[in-house]
Amino acid sequence: MLRALRQRFPQAELHVLIPEEAVPLLKYVPWLDKVWGFPRQRGRMQLKKTMPLLTQLRAEKFDLSLDFVGNDRGAWTSFMIGAKERWGLEAPRGFLGRSWCYHHTTEQPDYDLYYEGLRELMILDAMGMGTGSRDTRLEIYTNPDLKAKAAELLPEGTILCHISSVQLKKEWPLEYWREFSIKAASRGLRLMFSAGISEREQLSLRALANPDLGITCLPPVYDLELFLAILQRAKLFVSADTGPLHFAVGLQTPTLSFFAPSDYLRWAPVGEPHTTIRGKECECSKKSHVCYNQSPCMASIKPEQAMEAVERAIFAKKMQEVVV
């Protein structure tokens, strides 16, 4: 969506306001003029932190603002920034007078019918700001100063496997990761495992680690810029539907992803060099953060399937290298 905006307004200054913890995802994109970090905490306004930022943004005197968030915070923020023309999303709920925060609103396309990148482009078209583009490639750039540090943490030619998710129902069973690792070692493949930085996720990672079986794990990486540099080095990135999966796609790192409870049409990576294995459909998909089935849906994806997919992905990459 941002790339389409740049094509639509090649001479304009293009600024982006995103949560401050996500700034590294856009910080090094060369065709963005400025990335602003918004301090946020669920359920709290944090006025002492946000008001100075909003004052700075208002001083920019933007000609146009587009709100793609679709919630009360986004509407209030758009109004406070005070661009000459403000677009936002229609919403069935929200505070009284929310629609007055914008000059124009547009309806959101159905979440269940479109890939997320395409849905964003459709919103842009509905606002009259698009180019008709259907280019949904993700685009992330890394901090070049962190290449050496990333190389220390992830050896060249390593397959990086991310075992955790904020939603437990998306996690592949630890015993499957163990079996997958043993199969990879028998084929001469080097794996390293990672997890999110929460205590629960790191406990799972420590439970998986086993030097005797050759199961090695990445230490906790609290710096997102460094984590992105590590992701970019991976020979292949393997995970369920997680944030790091989409980071890897944006970094042009080949991926293998496992989808069972997640909305496959909306979130699965598209195009080469990305492979997705789909598990059985499950009633937990839109109802719970945990799968309570006696046979969890993620467990329907077997280590044998994953290893076959890895071998195909690596073979395809070797063939491409030969052709080049």
* pLDDT (tens place) for every residue of the chain, 324 residues total: 999 999 999 999 999 999 999 999 999 999 999 999 999 876 666 778 899 999 999 999 999 999 998 888 899 999 999 999 999 998 877 788 888 999 999 988 887 778 899 999 999 999 999 988 899 999 999 999 999 999 999 999 999 999 999 999 999 999 999 999 999 999 999 999 999 999 999 999 999 999 999 999 999 999 999 999 999 999 999 999 999 999 999 999 999 999 998 888 889 999 889 999 999 887 776 667 787 777 889 999 999 999 999 999 887 665 454 444
Hey, what long-range contacts does 63-71 have (CB within 8 A, 24 or more apart)?
63/12, 64/129, 66/5, 66/124, 66/127, 66/129, 67/102, 68/1, 68/120, 68/123, 70/108
- For 91, the domain range is 2-126
- Let me know: does 201 contact 195? Beta carbons within 8 Å: yes
Separation of alpha carbons 262 and 291, rounded Å: 12
Domain assignment present for residue 137? The answer is no
267 and 120 assigned to the same domain: no
**Same domain flag for 264 and 150:** yes
**CB-based contact 306:238 (threshold 8 Å):** yes
Q: In this structure, what CATH number is given to the domain that contains residue 67?
A: 3.40.50.2000
pTM for this predicted structure: 0.91
The number of folded domains in the chain is 2
188: in domain? yes
Considering the domain architecture, whether residues 283 and 171 belong to the same structural domain is answered as yes
My answer on whether 150 and 122 are in the same domain is no
Parallel, antiparallel or unpaired: strands 104-106 and 85-89: parallel
Nearest residue to 26 via CA among 222, 225, 159, 163: 225
